[in-house]
Structure 1
Amino acid sequence: MPIGPGEQDVRRLQLTGGSTYTMSLPKPWVLTNNLSARDGIRVEWRPTGELSLTPLDVPEEVKTLVELNLDGIPEGALYDHLMGAYLSGAREISAKSENQFSREIRSEIRRFLRSTRGFEIGEQSETSVHLISLLNAGELPLHASLNRMYLLLSSLVRDTFEVLVGSDDELISDFEEREREVDGLHYLIERQVGSMLDSQQVARSLGLGRKQGVEHANLARSLERMMDHAHEMARLALETTPRPRLKSEEFPLSALPMWMDAQKSLMINLRTHDSYQIEEARDSLKAAQLSLKEHEEGLWTGRRKASRLLFEDRISESIRRICAYSRDFGEILLNMIAYDSIQRE
């Protein structure tokens, strides 16, 4: 029976030559992929027991296009629609309007290009723009993006720590730029994982199973959430005037070296998968969370200035939340270890 994408059919095995099992392929699938007799087909036996059939000459990424009619999009919502098209894995995005693009629309398009990786303007007119992705989803390894996110995060946390104990504010003057880069890498990983779920070719290029890809996206989300709170600490440090001087050896700042050591250990175990080290890091982070919570509750029992107490409380809360997301990061690593240890019979 002819079948199309998303449909199912049951086909019977046939024994030919006394030792070879054969099965006919759906004719619509053969025609769609421009196959003929004696063409090669890659057969992949997946860990789940399924067989994946892929024509040898199929391109790694199929051309995909999302068309946006700006006249049907609410004012101020263009960026969200562009980002949705990006995360969906579209290779090209076309935006058109019956009217000339306003300054706000062009600003939203530029903002989108700054927030993403690999997209450039292919064609542009007064009423339309055609965006093209120059980066294949399978080109950049996910672990490379995760490492870059971690380096940006840890550097901002370390520099903010130095500023809070008295160093020059110039250390964190670029905190907005660092956060934007982490956001861009997070979006890129989400896009790559989405493409993995649609294409086995992309998954093969990245060297990951689809389950592993989803967990990498979860890791990226945890790092992005940590960066949000690191960004908030940097903003508080720069915008609070006068800024209270905090002591490095006392809470809340004394918890930051604990976080740095624990998160470094977790990043190492993204490769080594040592469950003992992961649990040790998570226990350390849990202890830091409890100490910070106790510190915050005790802040308001004294008779200090409210402005200083509020500043210290907000810094402490951000550090505590960073520790919480690091514990989530460790939990995801444990989930990955458990999945890899599954024995299928």
Structure 2
Amino acid sequence: MQIRKIQATGGSSYIVTLPKEWITENGLKKNDPVRMSRTSDGGLTIFPASVVKDSLVNVKVIDIDGIDSEALLFRMLLGAYISGYGQIEVRSSGRLRSGMVDVATKFIETAIGVEIVEESSDRIVMKDLVDPGEMKFPRTVERMKVLVRNMLSDVMDMLETNDSSKAESIESRDREVDRIEWFISRQTNMTVRDTSTIRKIGVEPLDIYRNYTVSRTLERIGDHAVIMAKHTSFLTGRDDLESVRLSIVRTGRQVIELFLRSVGAWVKVNLVEANEIVEEAAKLSKVCNDQNKNVSGLSKEITMTVNMIMGSLSRISEYSADISELAINAAMSR
């Protein structure tokens, strides 16, 4: 880091000289324009006007010669997307195999805002067409919360009504939760690659990290909803297990309520409410674990199923405490 003195030129103007090395590296000369933007931490960013600081010019080229795994290509595309690249190119020295083209198609159906803009026999170009400023962090996190809440509620409804027909729709919504979490991860990485993105998103840098952390937690809670949904089929369709199901439902509804309160405390940065939730989460997690121990007189398969479901509910309680602790941290940083 260099320290330079501010010089006054008279009137209301001030001058700071720029490092010669930076001028040379960027091919600048006298009277060339530069772009300046203020950062939220009080800093000032300067870069050549000829350089378009936009995620759409950040290109990632993936050469698939030697790549035989379609699963690997999908993970590479997803990794480039999450890293914040605005343009992703898939290239081959020969003709692209149909399986690889299918992977690219599947990827754009999965990633938010990505479209194929060019396609030939040996090359596919995908671009992110979403303006980062169009999708705000609070809005996307709220969308995740609603999806996860509905997933959890459907699990309890299936147990309560003795009907596991909603399991497939829960998995579908989980895929949507994943898509949003990937998008938030992408936005977070874009702010690292280009600080001007912070202004477009309209969130402070520290809040960007907190939103990212909460989105990761919501995604994990969604995964637990899927786990529970898959195990409901072992408990539904049997009248003799009604008391078992309803016992899970009673605890499950409490966990859902705690989860919703934790997100509410995080959104409102409510220190008192968040602290209460942390303490309640520990007690509720213990209730879930104790309920596991009290399962008796059931088959091994049913016992394992109840343990899996109650284990997920216990973990969701703990995740709710994690979200509340983030709310406390946010309150203390103000």
Comparing 107-116 with 226-235, greater Cα deviation is found at: 107-116
Comparing 106-115 with 144-153, greater Cα deviation is found at: 106-115
The structural deviation recorded for 1:150 is 0.7
For structure 1, list consecutive stretches of 5 or more residues without a partner in the other structure: 1-7
Which residue identity lines up with residue 331 of structure 2 in the other structure? I
* Secondary structure of 1:235 counterpart: helix
Match of 2:6 in 1: 13
**Deviation by residue 1:198-217 (Cα, 9 ceiling, x = unmatched):** 22221011111222111111
CA–CA separation in structure 1 for the residues paired with 2:204 and 2:115: 29
> Is 2:230 the partner of 1:228?
no
**Aligned ranges 1:1-345 → 2 under 5 Å:** 8-17=1-10, 21-26=14-19, 32=26, 37=31, 42=36, 44=38, 46-47=40-41, 50-53=43-46, 61-62=54-55, 63-73=57-67, 75=69, 76-238=71-233, 244-245=241-242, 247=244, 250=247, 252-299=248-295, 302-339=296-333, 341=334
The structural deviation recorded for 1:99 is 3.7
The structural deviation recorded for 1:71 is 1.1
CA–CA separation in structure 2 for the residues paired with 1:224 and 1:314: 18
The structural deviation recorded for 1:80 is 1.1
CA–CA separation in structure 2 for the residues paired with 1:207 and 1:274: 21
* Secondary structure of 2:249 counterpart: coil
Superposition TM-score, scaled by structure 2 size: 0.87
CA–CA separation in structure 2 for the residues paired with 1:246 and 1:109: 48
The structural deviation recorded for 1:27 is 5.6
Comparing 156-165 with 178-187, greater Cα deviation is found at: 156-165
> Is the 2:266–2:324 Cα contact (8 Å) retained in structure 1?
no
Superposition TM-score, scaled by structure 1 size: 0.84
CA–CA separation in structure 1 for the residues paired with 2:331 and 2:50: 35
> Is the 1:195–1:202 Cα contact (8 Å) retained in structure 2?
yes
> Is the 1:121–1:129 Cα contact (8 Å) retained in structure 2?
yes
* Secondary structure of 1:170 counterpart: coil
Change (3 A) 1:100 1:44: closer
Please identify which structure carries the higher helix content. 2
Match of 1:5 in 2: none
Change (3 A) 1:56 1:71: closer
* Secondary structure of 2:85 counterpart: coil
The structural deviation recorded for 1:240 is 6.5
The structural deviation recorded for 1:52 is 3.8
Change (3 A) 1:120 1:239: farther
CA–CA separation in structure 1 for the residues paired with 2:235 and 2:94: 45
Identity %: 22
Change (3 A) 1:144 1:56: farther
